[in-house]
Amino acid sequence: MNARRTLLLLAAAGAASLSACSRAPKAALPPAAAAARGVRVAHPATRIETGLASATGTVRAKDDAVLSAKGTGQIQRILVGVGDRVRKGAPLVEMDPTNVRIGLQNAQALERLGAAALASAEKDLARGRTLFEQGSMPAAQWEKVQTGRDLAAAQHDQAVAALRAAEQAVTDGTLVAPFAGTITAKYRNAGDTVTLMPVSPILALTDLDHLEVRLAVPESIEGFVRAGQKVEAVTTPGGVRVEARVRVKNAVVDPATRTVEVLADVVRAEGLRPGTLVNVDFGGFGDHDGLYVPTTAVRTDGKESWVFVVAGGKAERRAVEVVPVHPGAVAVRKGLDARSDVVQDPGSLADGDAVVALPN
């Protein structure tokens, strides 16, 4: 009986203890930390090579000429050969001067004859004026004297002009370089007879020190091109890099090819020759032009645009002002610096999210 009472007391005490424990407040667990999201980051580019705004062109000399005689005649001497460098004004070809010298002598004689006739007419005019004023010469005779003097003056002027033409023909008998350059072709030899019509080429002269690139830029990408723009070209074949600066962009689109002519001055190139094909990428912008990020990095709500940068292990929203460059990139004009770690594809990332920067 005593043993049973003892058991009942122990059971009651255990029940009371369990009831007290159930009524005691439970200890709160610490909240689970949010998992950091890995994101690809990269600094804004200061230069982009798009490959989307390229055009193929030809290198050519700014000054390039095929030289011919200024009259029909026989070549007496050719003073230069292919590969020779010549200065401006240097003699290149001498024509046989026999006929032009005879023409000069004839023109000189005609000029002297005209001068003598004019002098005689001037004397007749002076005597006629005196007689007419004294009433000793009829008006009709006086008019004839005046007309004679005018005719003599015109004939003298004609003779002077013929003399200048003959002197110029003698000068033109020596073909000179119109600009400094290199002889690149020789079409005739001493003893050959050349004609003015049709023109007979004798030499080709090219200025190899001042080159330009002529490009037919498709209308669809002409917006990438601007005067003064510095561009890089690559020779095809060869892969030699060429620096050039756009000098002019034609304001007219060729209706047949739908292209715009662009001329760019070659600034620097090693061993570049006229006739070489080059490929120019107008989508490659220089360091001074700004900062560029992929279009995937930019978010917009129609009112403003922003990107996310990684700062202190978190995503930080930065408002930016952007200008489209091509379908894959935009230029950032405001709101970003070149040292920022820009998230390349933020997706559903929100401001303040924990992130881990991954290399792009």
Each residue's pLDDT tens digit, 296-335:
999 998 889 999 999 888 999 999 998 776 667 788 888 8
Distance CA 358, CA 360 (A): 6
**197, 76: one domain:** yes
Distance CA 130, CA 147 (A): 16
Closest CA to 202 of 60, 76, 59, 61: 76
- Name the domain boundary from 230, 256, 283: 283
**297, 247: one domain:** no
State the total domains in the chain: 4
**124, 178: one domain:** no
Identify the CATH number of the domain in which residue 139 sits.
1.10.287
pLDDT exceeds cutoff 70 at 289 = no
In a domain, 279, yes or no: yes
Secondary structure (3-state) at 9: helix
**303, 342: one domain:** yes
42-46, 49-53, 242-246, 314-318: which has the minimum mean pLDDT? 49-53
- What mean pLDDT do residues 161-180 have? 95
In a domain, 258, yes or no: yes
N- to C-terminal Cα separation, the chain? 84
Distance CA 116, CA 118 (A): 5
Identify the CATH number of the domain in which residue 275 sits.
2.40.30.170
pLDDT exceeds cutoff 70 at 13 = no
Q: What residues make up the domain containing 242?
A: 54-62+210-283
Q: Quick one: pLDDT at residue 9? A: 45
pLDDT exceeds cutoff 80 at 149 = yes
Q: Which pLDDT band, with edges at 50, 70 and 90, does 248 fall under?
A: very high
**81, 193: one domain:** yes
In the DSSP assignment, the letter for residue 335 is: S
**202, 216: one domain:** no
**223, 240: one domain:** yes
Distance CA 239, CA 174 (A): 43
Q: Quick one: pLDDT at residue 175? A: 96
CB of 48 within 8 A of CB of 325? yes
In a domain, 188, yes or no: yes
Q: Which pLDDT band, with edges at 50, 70 and 90, does 65 fall under?
A: very high
- Name the domain boundary from 189, 206, 223: 206
